[in-house]
Amino acid sequence: MSILAALKALRTTAKTGAIGKMKTSAKGVELIHSFEGLRLDAYPDPGTGGKPWTIGWGSTTDEQGKPINPGDKWTRERADARFLQHLTSFEAEVNKLLDGKPATQGQFDALVSFAYNLGPGNLAKSTLLKRHKSGEYAAAAVEFAKWNRAAGRVMAGLSRRRAAEAALYRGQ
């Protein structure tokens, strides 16, 4: 079963919790997948050349929350399952951070991708989130570009990801 099929099955059978909580669309999942890529052997962070080690669809921890280590290997099934766990967690965090403020599907998907890559703590303290919550959507979209560094260096991959997130946020 493909990850998108598994995601659809999970979403149609799971309890969704509070009414009005958004979920990532297939377009959002595809965006995350396109930038994270699927790697079944652990690899070092491109920004640091070391920690945090990553595996699967961008996982830096396993199912028990333990860090990924050099030499770790996963199956596709494990990577897909962990992705769904991560995605559900980041969706909940973004919904909580939005605090009832409206978001289009594209805006929500872009914010989840951002949180998936940089963590909900960075989203929480960002001007991006502040601008979104105050309804300054054009200004919020501009903020994505500011988050393109790792270990103090501008990373081309992060610049491309932030541009794609901003475009999705804008509904493009």
Sign of CA dihedral 147, 149, 154, 158: negative
Look at residue 3 in the predicted model and tell me its pLDDT: 58
Q: Which residue in this structure is represented by tokens 């595809």?
A: 30
Q: Which residues are catalytic?
A: 36
Tokens standing for residue 63: 């199912």
Measure the CA–CA gap between 10 and 19, rounded to whole angstroms.
Answer: 17
Confidence of residue 172 (pLDDT cuts 50, 70, 90): very high
Measure the CA–CA gap between 155 and 22, rounded to whole angstroms.
Answer: 30
Q: Kindly report, residue by residue over 122-147, the tens digit of the pLDDT.
A: 999 999 999 999 999 999 999 999 99
Q: Which is nearest to 96 in space by CA: 33, 17, 166?
A: 17
When the candidates are 1.10.530.40, 2.40.160.210, 3.40.140.10, 3.30.930.10, the CATH number that belongs to 3-35+83-169 is 1.10.530.40
Angle of helix 105-118 relative to helix 26-36, nearest 10 degrees, comes to 30
Tokens standing for residue 47: 């920004």
Note whether 83 and 59 are within 8 A (CB): yes
Look at residue 47 in the predicted model and tell me its pLDDT: 80
Residues paired with 54 in a beta bridge: 43
Considering the entire predicted model, what is its pTM? 0.89
Q: Kindly report, residue by residue over 93-133, the tens digit of the pLDDT.
A: 999 999 999 999 999 999 999 999 999 999 999 999 999 99
Measure the CA–CA gap between 39 and 42, rounded to whole angstroms.
Answer: 7
Domain ranges of the chain: 3-35+83-169
Look at residue 46 in the predicted model and tell me its pLDDT: 84
CA distances to 13, 20, 34 from 9, in Å: 6, 19, 21
Measure the CA–CA gap between 91 and 124, rounded to whole angstroms.
Answer: 13
